[in-house]
Structure 1
Amino acid sequence: MSRVRVLAATLMITIAGAVVAVLPAGMATAADCVTPWQSSAVYTGGMTASYNGHNWRAKWWTQNETPGGADVWADQGTCGGSTPPPGGGCAYPNWTAGTWYDTGAIVRYTNGNYYIAEHGNPGYDPTISTWYWDPYACSGGGTTPPPTNPGGFVVSEIQFNQMFPSRNSFYTYQGLVAALSSYPAFAATGTDTVRRQEAAAFLANVNHETGGLVYITEINRGTYCDLSQSYGCPAGAANYYGRGPIQLSWNFNYKAAGDALGLPLLTNPWLVETDAAVAWRTALWYWNTQTGPGTMTAHNAMVNGAGFGETIRSINGSLECNGGNPGQVQSRVTAYQQFVQILGTTAGGNLYC
């Protein structure tokens, strides 16, 4: 069974001009206090901080919520003692059956390898459970971080659910993950910051197009049939209305997307509203290959530094950009700014078009 493996990577934040490391879940031990909590710092799910003699783990995005006084923080126990870290040379605890492990927790198994929990679980055996990332060897002391996984998606399921708390059950995280193989460069090109920015940009535009992943098809359906195309509209002139995360519409777009993805979308456009993976694949097709009314693909806009504003131009052009509809542009920008915070990165420049 194929698994997408998402790690809680070590993140860096700047506080009062100084750069400090914030460790992922599972890294802190009773012997060590991690970086002290700062009210001005942004913490995302899995990040840790110390406060009042305890280490705390953030369950989701938070800022200015005091550990111990807000439900967002999970108490990881006392810190600052002299007990050597459990589990050997790397400061991760030994796996114990029946112990609850949160997403991102790292444990040392009896075979000497270290495993990362992809999902919270009640102490499942890492060697037989699909809820763990594959093992890696950990040598040396201190807080050696796990290796990054080049095939992993930068958005975890927890973060996805934070972004879309009211989403339609049709739009599954698993469907999105399954669609990623169609365009492996998506959210996997450039620095870690660029990868997270691209994922946030894509999902922010998707958020706007679907009302927060609520709508599968457009509300006021138009007739998008260009009869000048030699292949016509075999599914019926009224059946190429907007569907999916980026509301794919027009017969020529269904034809082009179907040809690129190896799917019969011209004759069966309903696939986009009945198969979550197909729906996500059409959105990624547009994002990665189509310039639309813009001058570049949305993917290139993000990886080449043109900025989020150019992704809006590639999707809706003058209908929104250049003063066409500033309110719609602001809606997209606001969602993007929220999503990069959830992913623990910055928005970059050129947000507007």
Structure 2
Amino acid sequence: MKLDTIFAFTLVYILLLITSPEFPSAAGDDVGSVISASLFEELLKHRNDQLCEGKGFYSYNAFVTAASSFGAFGTTGDFNTRKREVVAFLAQSSHETTGGGGGSPPDGPYAWGYCFVTERDKSKQYCDGVGPCALGKSYYGRGPLQLTHNYNYALAGNGLQLDLINNPDLVAQNPVVSFKAAIWFWMTPQGNKPSCHDVITNRWTPSSADIAANRVPGYGVITNIINGGVECGNGPTSSSNDRIGFYKRYCDVLGLPSGSNLDCSNQRPFGP
């Protein structure tokens, strides 16, 4: 076979490989190329409102900096898949930190994500006997995905090489760490749960147990991963509907169809 023919075949193979949905984007093609600073502002337009505890905390630069520590986040698959992952992450975390749930807020409730950094009810310590707790420390929700429970702080701390058991407040004090903790949870499978990342980038295949529990690929199973024990399997809930509302708005802004299987109302929660 002639060299130019070999070269042509090799070039075609490489092009097919790098355009595959399973192939991460090229180096330098990071989250910043998926969502610009102006888009970030449009999606989270009231996060710096005077009414928000998180005023000035959740910055675009902190988000992009944190995301760069996770090579596959927002860089896996074709461009629409990459956009969908960022949209899904921001939608789920917007629900967790929303400040627009009541009344008739300006621009509607789905423009008020990232209003809070910490859980409003701080009365619980969330030291559950699984893993260590530090004296006088509480493990209530902090950050974009409201990291909660001592064992999650321990796992996230190990993953990020930070002592979050003795210093859980770091997740609410350092915006880069705060985003890193949330993205770590997003990227990491736990027990029989897939990672949110694998679900939204079409890298998860449901097991027979998943199929029997109606856990099928889609945004709804991500809600199941995050808070299935509370929100899934009992018909529509206001919380699940709120997550979907953020997702649909963000999809519209980025020109994405929202797709199917958005809720988890008929899914059984993931078991232990």
Q: Is the 8 A contact 2:31 2:64 kept in 1?
A: no
1:172–1:352: structure 2 CA closer, same or farther, 3 Å change rule?
same
The Cα shift of 1:228 comes to 4.5
CA contact (8 A) 1:206 1:246 kept: yes
Alignment partner for residue 225 of structure 1, among 117, 127, 152?
A: 127
Cα deviation, 1:66-104, whole Å, max 9, x if unaligned, reads xxxxxxxxxxxxxxxxxxxxxxxxxxxxxxxxxxxxxxx
| Structure with greater strand share of residues | 1
Distance 1:152 1:243, change over 3 A: closer
Give the CA RMSD over aligned residues.
2.0
Unaligned runs of at least 5 residues, structure 2: 1-25, 48-54, 99-112, 204-216, 265-272
| Number of the residue aligned with 2:45 | 165
* Aligned position for 1:177: 64
Q: Say which of 237, 254, 263 aligns to 1:343.
A: 254
Larger helix share, 1 or 2? 2
For 1:327 and 1:226, locate their aligned partners in 2 and report how far apart those are by CA, in whole Å: 27
Aligned runs of 1:1-353 on 2, under 5 Å? Answer: 150-153=29-32, 154-167=34-47, 168-211=55-98, 212-221=113-122, 222-229=124-131, 232-237=132-137, 239-291=138-190, 295-304=193-202, 306-323=217-234, 326-353=237-264
Contact 2:57 2:175 in 1 (8 A): yes
Would the aligned equivalents of 1:207 and 1:335 in 2 still touch at CA under 8 Å? yes
> Which of the two has higher C-alpha Rg?
1
Q: What is the TM-score with the length of structure 2 in the denominator?
A: 0.70
User: Using CA pairs below 8 Å that are at least 6 residues apart, which structure has the higher relative contact order?
Assistant: 2
After superposition, give the CA deviation of every residue in 1:321-341 in whole Å (9 maximum; x if it has no partner): 122652211111111011112
The residue type equivalent to 2:116 in the other structure is Y
Which residues of structure 1 form unaligned runs of 5+?
A: 1-146
What is the one-letter code of the residue matched to 1:163? Answer: L
Superposed CA offset, 1:253-282 (max 9, x none): 111111111111111111111100000000
Inter-partner Cα distance in structure 2 for 1:351 and 1:158 = 27
TM-score normalised according to structure 1 size: 0.54
Give, as a single letter, the amino acid of the residue that structure 2 aligns with 1:219: R
User: Could you tell me how far 1:342 is from its partner in structure 2?
Assistant: 1.5
Identity of aligned residues (%): 37
> 1:176-221, CA deviations, whole angstroms, 9 ceiling, x for partnerless residues?
0110122111111111111111111000001100011011110112
* Paired residues, number: 203
Asked if the contact 1:291–1:314 (Cα under 8 Å) also holds between the matched residues in 2, the reply is no
Opposite residue 181 of structure 2, the aligned amino acid is: T
CA distance in 1, matches of 2:43, 2:226: 21
Give the aligned partner of residue 125 of structure 1.
none
